[in-house]
Amino acid sequence: WKTLDDVALAGKVVLVRVDINVPMEDGRVTDMTRIDKIRPTVEDIIAKGGKVVLLAHFDRPKGKVVPAMSLSHVEKAVASSLGRTVVFGADCIGPVAAAAIAKAGPADVVLLENTRFQPGEEKNDPALAAEMAKLGDVFVNDAFSAAHRAHASTEGLARLLPAAAGRLMEAELRALEAALGAPQRPVVAVVGGAKVSTKIELLANLVTKVDHLVIGGGMANTFLVAEGIEVGQSLAERDFAETAREIRHRAQKAGCQIHLPVDIVVAREFKAGAESQTLGVRDCPPDAMILDAGPKTVAALEAVFASAKTLIWNGPLGAFEIEPFNKATYAAAQAAARLTKAGSLISVAGGGDTVAALNAAGAAADFTFISTAGGAFLEWMEGKELPGVQALMT
């Protein structure tokens, strides 16, 4: 794929697909990360003499105009993050969009309306992509986190204009390549979260690529059940015990070591401050549920991390949203951050929950790379080709 260094930008109108699908509460942006991360691309294009026109989706309006999902609600946040005047166009195609582009000065940034207000966006309708293409001369995709969607503004448009990856897209692809493409070994992957059923493809791919696979959260319970260990009232997918055994088998054949909890934190209620006990992994009482991994598990993970050169992380180790069940996730995250800071580990993490947990643990800043992507990060870890990235290759 090409980068901003490979395309002529001077005097061009540059359509830049960004992902500013940010969380909002009461009309205010509650996490600016995705908006802040578009700055290098925007600044670079302006410095090279291009006019920046932002194309983006917001939420899931499903091809209809839903005023609450208008990108006008993030216009101010974009302007303050970039420190530039933002000219909003209340459509992403046609005369309204063209007028906004014409009105903007060379140092301004144009923000066009939610691409998903168009029924053709999610269908990757070539007619819609052609309408968008008419507005500019060059296409830059900086939305790695939306690259798993083959939509008109991510995939279609890349095929109609000279196309390049933006700086954030470039950074994401390089970091992920360093973690799983041609990584420094040993590589350890941490995969947590509630369900094995939603992460089968991920586990099946990872065991062939990494040296250690740490399984945490509710998923670990299913693996424990597969070993004949009783987990009481814990979340576990008993129907997937056989799948868990197959994944273990596949891992063994590929020389990947699977790590499960050796001790557990259990409670009788799933609520903040619930009375909890730390027990051996085989000692879960029939009326209790496992809500976190225990300190021996964390110590074992720290040893695995210390022996590794690369770490890739998706999913928490316990019910980290409520205390005291955040301990294992936080402690493991802090250990990874320390090793990264000391220069002995390359650490990459992604996924909404994971990034929230690493932030809450105060560990995110020391990770080598934190992806802005949720679904795209997962699909990439599953070994899938991302259409938004593929389209930049041709």
232 catalytic? Reply is no
Q: Which of 166, 316, 374, 388 binds ligand 3PG (CB under 6 A)?
A: 374
Please, which residue, 21 or 326, has the CB nearer to ligand 3PG? Answer: 21
- Torsion-angle region of 374 (φ positive above 0: left; ψ -120 to 50: alpha; else: beta): alpha
Check whether 19 is labelled as a binding-site residue.
Answer: yes
Q: One symbol per residue from 5 to 34: x for binding ligand 3PG (CB under 6 A), - otherwise; what is it? A: --------------x-x-------------
Q: Which of 5, 8, 60, 106 binds ligand 3PG (CB under 6 A)?
A: 60
| x-or-dash string of contact with ligand 3PG, 98-137, rule CB under 6 A | ----------------------------------------
x/- string (CB under 6 A) for ligand 3PG, residues 141-180? ----xx--x-------------------------------
**Site track 242-281 with ligand 3PG (rule: CB under 6 A), x = hit:** ----------------------------------------
Cβ contact 165:18 at 8 Å:
no
Q: Minimum CB separation from ligand 3PG for residue 149, in Å?
A: 5
**CB-based closest residue to ligand 3PG:** 21
Which member of 17, 34, 51, 84 is catalytic? 34
Q: Which is nearer to ligand 3PG, 62 or 253 (CB)?
A: 62
Residue written as tokens 């006008």? 72
In the DSSP assignment, the letter for residue 383 is: T
Q: Is 351 annotated as a binding residue?
A: yes
34 carries an active-site annotation? yes
Cβ within 8 Å of residue 17, ≥6 positions away = 55, 56, 139, 140, 141, 142, 143, 146, 153, 154, 157, 388
For residue 282, say whether it is annotated as part of any ligand binding site. Answer: no
Which residues fall in the annotated binding site for substrate?
19-21, 34, 57-60, 116, 149
Q: Which residues bind ligand 3PG (CB under 6 A)?
A: 19, 21, 60, 145-146, 149, 374-375
Which residues fall in the annotated binding site?
19-21, 34, 57-60, 116, 149, 199, 321, 351-354
